[in-house]
Structures are given as C-alpha cells and as structure tokens.
C-alpha cells in the first residue's frame, strides 16, 4: 500500500480545489459569519479531502467505501451552504455557479471511486 497514494487521485486533487475556492470565497463573507457559516464551510470543505485520504488508506473495502460516502456528504454540505450564502448576498450567483461546476466534477469523481469499490463489497 502506498501511504500517499490518495494524492494521485484526481478526486482528491479536485477536492483540494474546492477547499481553495472555499477559502477564497470566505474572504467575502461579513465578519459576523466568521464563527458561524465560515467555520462550518471550512470544516466541511477540508473534510472532503480528509475523508478521501483516510478512506483510500483503509484496509477494508467496506471502510474505504464508507469514507468516500462521508466525503460526498461533506461535498453536499458545502454545496448547500454556498447556496444559502448566495441567497444572503455573501457571494454572487456567478461565484456559486462556478463552485457548483467544481462540486459536480468532484461528485462524479467520488461516485466513480465509490463504484470502484462496489464489486468488492457485493
């Protein structure tokens, strides 16, 4: 098993883009959100990459699939929070659409990764 093999995964690399884009957009949020929505978005976005890394390095295929599923859940949390942020006027519609496109890419990649574990689970 390669310890840092997760770094080679396109899903992981694109998920890091979600993290970078999230941190960039959070600079636009009002200061009163610093300890609420901003913290939640930071945790959720970093959780995407963390769960990929942890899952890929698990020995059990069931555990691998579980962590990828958790990563997907965090990705959807980020999506939901940015939708609310747009409605609150913290980011523009264009910024949310840009994030949505990136989220769609990561979602497809995570789905493919998850499916790669399915034959082993069944």
Q: How is the chain split into domains, by residue range?
A: 5-121
Predicted local confidence at residue 22, as pLDDT = 98
pTM of the predicted model, to two decimals?
0.92
Q: What percent of the chain is predicted at pLDDT more than 70?
A: 96
The long-range contacts involving 46-50, CB below 8 angstroms and separated by at least 24 positions, are 46/19, 47/71, 47/74, 48/15, 48/18, 48/19, 48/74, 48/75, 48/78, 48/106, 49/12, 49/15, 49/16, 49/19
pLDDT for 109 beyond 90: yes
Q: Does domain 5-121 have CATH number 1.20.1440.60?
A: yes
């Amino acid at each position: 098993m390669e310890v840092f093999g997760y770094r080679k995964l396109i899903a992981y690399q694109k998920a890091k883009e979600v993290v970078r884009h999230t941190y960039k957009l959070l600079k636009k949020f009002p200061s009163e959100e610093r300890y609420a929505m901003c913290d939640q978005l930071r945790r959720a976005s970093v959780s995407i990459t963390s769960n990929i890394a942890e899952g890929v390095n698990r020995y059990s295929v069931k555990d691998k699939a579980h962590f990828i599923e958790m990563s997907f859940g965090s990705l959807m949390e980020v999506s939901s929070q940015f939708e609310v942020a747009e409605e609150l006027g913290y980011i523009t519609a264009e910024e949310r659409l840009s994030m949505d496109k990136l989220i769609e890419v990561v979602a497809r990649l995570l789905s493919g990764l998850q499916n790669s574990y399915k034959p082993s689970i069944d």
